[in-house]
Chains A and B, each alone.
Chain A
């Protein structure tokens, strides 16, 4: 017993001595903070900051894939794209694509989130299934959609025929007709971004104290009044963040369009991101490509500032 106690005492003394000497740098929040932030800073500088500055530099030059020479061109590239009708078309398409798909995503996401919010048997399974499009690789999902939109074997066309919604002789070319092509890429974008929005909004709904919704019921509010006067205002900050994510994703991403239509037919689904890629990388004109993609930067920055301010203003708790 006595030896055991002595052992314990020694252990404690050792521990105290060690705590006094080694605890220093771990307790220094400034140093520890810098150390922990380090990897993230390196990552952002190397993979976001440097390419961004390189892009800015290229956009003022005549850089191209095939040449090692580089000259400062001032605003010439920007002036050139202003003259380019395809650029304006891509900009308009990008806005339509992002706005229509994101409005659909937010509305459908809210409805889905409300359905999933309720307790029911097998809810976890449904939640899992809804998340699947988000975890599937985008390009693989898009290739799947390529088959769904196939002009001959399309399951959509088959279903419409089977339900006698269109004439048997009528075979829409989903990705080949301008209006239908935009509709198709929007559909796929909604399919892809809906899970994320649903999960974000669901988190927002779950954060509303149940007592508040109960109080609204007792206070005489029916479903619509509860939805528009209590639930929606309370999830608004979260919904704005979901919307911001969606808009930025949709504006900057081109995988869906690259896989499904490559911007066609006749640039009907060409957006700025895809146009920049085709011009700069596939076309080899790095300078113009950089100018096209940079055009979006101030627009997206303004959108982000706007939404974050709105979200903060709508925040209540």
Chain B
């Protein structure tokens, strides 16, 4: 267990800044998720923490000690790669034992530790197999076992679930979180999938263009986005952004509901809507429509819980509304969050 920290860390590739001055402090035992679109610098940042890339400037600190120029093998961290990066010529047993052997641990101790790690991930019966004889899910477990076996001070995980099918991914996500809670090891997890980020992280860092746009708990990032990028990146479907003369108005799809959904005593802001298409997702219905005057005619999405039995009439103007507290406002120039007071 350790803290992991970066100070004004940058990485430039051929003059282009992949990571542009990031300050990040990961707390002891925390599960921090770095999320952002592809090319946002999240993997580069993770590789700098691992020591696989040298920062152009700035520092990496593990447990308060500057390790910027310490080679990866001396950082006592473990990493799980997107491809799992198992040693294809070694059996599962030798794969898991590899980091221990590199430490020069005695054979007896290696054996018992490998056994323990294999039991933890339910792969005791695979120890003799080669990686090519394993399924995607089994490979992922072997990669995790290889990471935990050494009891490193921190785990770095680079999209470890992206090669699994959707069903397996959900269960693997659940297991991963349980392991992390049990081991209480500082974990930094990279993903482009905002659902994964919301579900896993104690805190989420939303990255774009090599910068951290927001760092906070899933609830903070979702409920109170710092800027329009975070507002539209986190959440599916994304937050509706309506440009008005004074600001961008942001409304989450689940907050834009037919007037009937609110009690008559409640004070709401009307947002009349002409619906074009309804997508029935089972638990929810997504209504795709255009705002009607006095609002600008902008395409928006409303998410109606199926329990709400309101009929949606296509092509007709229908009264929709939002609670005032669910309306976010962002500056037109910078896209940054505006104080509710100034609105």
Contacts and interface: CB of A to CB of B under 8 A. Distances in A.
Contact of B72 (A209, A218, A225, A314): A218
B146 A219 contact: yes
A234 interface: yes
Interface in B61-108: 71-73, 75, 77-79, 81-83, 85-89, 98-99, 102-103
6 contacts: A212-B87, A214-B50, A218-B72, A218-B79, A219-B73, A222-B73
Contacts of B132: 316-317
Contacts of B99: 219-220
B89 A233 contact: yes
Interface in A200-225: 209, 211-212, 214-222, 225
Given A215-B79, A219-B78, A229-B98, 19 more contacts: A211-B81, A212-B85, A214-B81, A215-B85, A215-B86, A216-B87, A216-B98, A217-B52, A217-B71, A217-B72, A218-B73, A219-B98, A219-B102, A219-B146, A220-B99, A221-B73, A233-B89, A314-B89, A317-B132
Contacts of B103: 220
Contacts of A220: 73, 99, 102-103, 150
Contacts of B71: 217
A100 B332 CA distance: 75
A220 B71 CA distance: 9
Interface residues of A, number: 20
The 4 closest A-B pairs by CB, nearest first: A211-B85, A220-B102, A215-B85, A219-B99
B130 interface: yes
Interface residues of B, number: 28
A316 B220 CA distance: 47
A214 B102 contact: no
A230 interface: yes
Interface string A174-185: 000000000000
Nearest to A314: B89
Contacts of B47: 214
A148 B87 CA distance: 46
Given A220-B103, A222-B73, A316-B132, A214 B52 contact: yes
Most buried by B among A215, A229, A233: A215
Given A218-B79, A317-B132, A225 B85 contact: no
A215 B73 contact: no
Contacts of A218: 50-52, 72-73, 75, 77-79, 156
Contacts of B81: 211, 214-215
Most buried by B among A214, A218, A229, A314: A218
Interface string B113-136: 000000000000000001010000
Contacts of A215: 79, 81, 85-87
